[in-house]
């Protein structure tokens, strides 16, 4: 199973999601082709209702505790359904990598 599939499986098991998207953004960084080291997670669930951003992130980090030992970066976009609707059902693109010799 790929890391991306593992992340999706664990988050699906841990949260009752309205929307869940896991993007492997490793190709945007100075890593070997086919790497699974940088991920962007967009997760929408009512379980985040009333929680500050840090608490939402801690819940996701707890669900992915083992995986976080194996990956380099995890960008989190954690929202309730109403927040997701307010944003028009989208999140911003990740910025281009500026480290590790990628843009040198």
| pLDDT of 1 above 90 | no
Residue 104 is predicted with a pLDDT of 43
User: Rounded to the nearest 5°, which phi and psi values hold at 18?
Assistant: -85, -35
Residue 103 is predicted with a pLDDT of 47
In 3-state terms, what secondary structure has residue 16? coil
DSSP secondary structure, 35-93, as one string: ---EEEEEEEEGGGTT--HHHHHHHHHHHTTTGGGT-SEEEEEEE-HHHHHHTTS--PP
Average pLDDT over residues 10-28: 90
pLDDT 10s digits, 33-84: 766 777 899 999 999 999 999 999 999 999 999 998 988 888 999 999 999 9
Architecture per CATH, 3-86: 2-Layer Sandwich (3.30)
Name the residue ranges covered by the structural domains of the chain: 3-86
| pLDDT of 85 above 70 | yes
User: Rounded to the nearest 5°, which phi and psi values hold at 103?
Assistant: -110, 25
In the predicted model, what is the mean pLDDT of the chain? 87
- Closest by Cα among 2, 32, 19, 45 to 102: 32
């Amino acid at each position: 199973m790929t890391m991306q599939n593992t992340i999706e499986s664990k988050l699906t098991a841990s949260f009752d999601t309205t929307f869940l998207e896991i993007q492997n953004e490793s190709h945007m960084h100075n890593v070997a082709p086919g790497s699974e080291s940088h991920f962007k997670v967009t997760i929408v669930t009512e379980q985040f209702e009333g929680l500050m951003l840090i608490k939402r992130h801690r819940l996701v980090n707890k669900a992915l505790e083992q995986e976080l030992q194996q990956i380099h970066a995890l960008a989190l976009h954690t929202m309730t359904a109403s927040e997701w609707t307010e944003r028009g059902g989208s999140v911003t693109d990740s910025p281009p990598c500026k480290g590790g010799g990628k843009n040198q």
